[in-house]
């Protein structure tokens, strides 16, 4: 007998970033979400922001829960483990765990600390820049 989606652990992902008042700042985070949607159309992915723009983490999680997601991975879209990734985000995830005891939450390391990202950034930095006009 098949397990209901909630018991089977239907996954969802939240790409968590700092946020900015500048709407262009969100473009790279939204581009990652869009690429994930193209590659994995059945995997719900939401962006969330700590401050200065919407949605916040709680709202993004609520959107995933409304889709029947029961296992949420939060991916810090930070280059390093600063105060937001070290203190603020774990506190927010702990609050979500208390508010939603039937949901499994996983918190990844900041993407910038992944050796693949380090290698990619180094490769990009080695490319010639634009020439001044």
Q: Strands 45-49 and 71-76, how do they pair?
A: unpaired
18 is an active site residue: yes
Q: Could you tell me which of 15, 8, 20 has the C-alpha nearest to residue 74?
A: 15
Residue 127 to residues 32, 115, 116, 119, 122, Cα–Cα distance (Å)? 22, 19, 17, 13, 9
Q: What distance in Å separates the CA atoms of residue 48 and residue 97, rounded to the nearest whole number? A: 17
Q: What distance in Å separates the CA atoms of residue 104 and residue 98, rounded to the nearest whole number? A: 11
Indicate which residue of 18, 71, 84, 100 is catalytic: 18
Q: Which residues are catalytic?
A: 18
């Amino acid at each position: 007998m098949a397990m209901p989606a909630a018991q089977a652990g239907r996954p969802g992902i939240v790409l968590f970033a700092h946020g900015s008042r500048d709407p262009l700042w969100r473009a790279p985070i939204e581009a990652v979400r869009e690429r994930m949607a193209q590659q994995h159309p059945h995997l719900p992915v939401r962006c969330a922001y700590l401050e200065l723009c919407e949605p916040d983490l709680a709202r993004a999680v609520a959107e995933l829960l409304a889709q029947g997601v029961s296992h949420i991975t939060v991916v810090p879209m930070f280059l390093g483990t600063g105060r937001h990734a070290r203190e603020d985000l774990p506190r927010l995830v702990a609050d979500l765990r208390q508010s939603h005891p039937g949901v499994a939450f996983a918190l990844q390391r900041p993407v910038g600390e992944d050796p693949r990202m380090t290698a990619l950034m180094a490769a990009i930095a080695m490319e010639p820049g634009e020439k001044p006009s």
